[in-house]
Amino acid sequence: MKFTSEDLAGKVAVVTGGGGVLCATMAKALAANGVKVAVLDLKAEAAEAVAAHIRSEGGQAVGLAANVLDKASLETAHAQVLQQLGPCDILINGAGGNHPKGTTSKNFLLAEDLEAEQEGLKTFFDMDPEGIKFVFDLNFIGTLLPTQVFARDMVGREGATIINVSSMNAFRPLTKIPAYSGAKAAVSNFTQWLAVHFSKVGIRVNAMAPGFFLTEQNRTLLTTADGSLTDRGNTIISHTPMERFGTPEDLLGTLLWLCGDGSKFVTGVVVPIDGGFSAFSGV
């Protein structure tokens, strides 16, 4: 299915985390609708690979290395975007992720977990504050800093919009991953705050909250080597009324709606794209 939005042609979009599967798909969809796209990623080769694909399809794109936790790095990328594409109209804050040090081994703490050392067992009490800080920084600071750098050019520009990437974890925290859940809740809250703050200068701010999409980050948690589901994968599917994981293309209709004039009176919302997961009580 081809997703189209005729009112985006000629605009400039900056996509952080653009080398990843989900954000690369979003970058390509924007380019297919006539948007000039700056693909930003920590890995220059990943960003350039996506940009090269867009150019091979007749679109206009540049791939740039940028660290969303380093303002100087972002300012360097910003200068390159201005020179090569022009000022930003659309900012997709897609960079994010989790870290093993912000994760527990089990869903629930049992008293016996504290009685004797078990190899490989990590309880809440073993979680590394540095790992938790990394997750919060990557997801929240990694949304704040690109917004500081690129949104200044968006002030007063017609149709300027920022789309953050939250998660279903922001609505209800998942077991094992408190750092990631808390960080994405911060992204959702920041989206609402920023929408109000920017409301007088013409910048809309919204967020997408994907449900469960298979990516390289979570594939081994949700599926086995032969492609069958793990216990956690089965639990997720059993709590998703549409009974499947999302595909990257499932994000595109919402993306183009939030970027275009069809949502010009929409700001400060977090849109679940989750196959009904957030609506299902489990019974």
d(CA 252, CA 26): 6
The DSSP line for 49-99 is HHHHHHHHTT--EEEEE--TT-HHHHHHHHHHHHHHT-S-SEEEE------
Measured CA to CA in angstroms, residue 283 lies from 241, 278, 279 at distances of: 11, 13, 11
Measured CA to CA in angstroms, residue 72 lies from 17, 78, 126 at distances of: 17, 10, 34
CA angle 266, 171, 139 (to 5 degrees): 80
- The neighbouring-strand residues paired with 164 are 93, 207
Catalytic pick among 180, 190, 198, 245: 180
126 as an active site residue: the answer is: no
The DSSP line for 113-148 is GGTS--TT---GGG--HHHHHHHHIIIIIHHHHHHH
Which tokens belong to 38? 């700056």
HSE (CB half, 13 Å, CA atoms) of 37? 38
Q: Backbone phi, then psi, for 93, in 5-degree steps?
A: -85, 85
d(CA 250, CA 271): 13
Which tokens belong to 96? 């994010």
d(CA 104, CA 82): 43
d(CA 81, CA 88): 8
Residues with a known catalytic role: 180
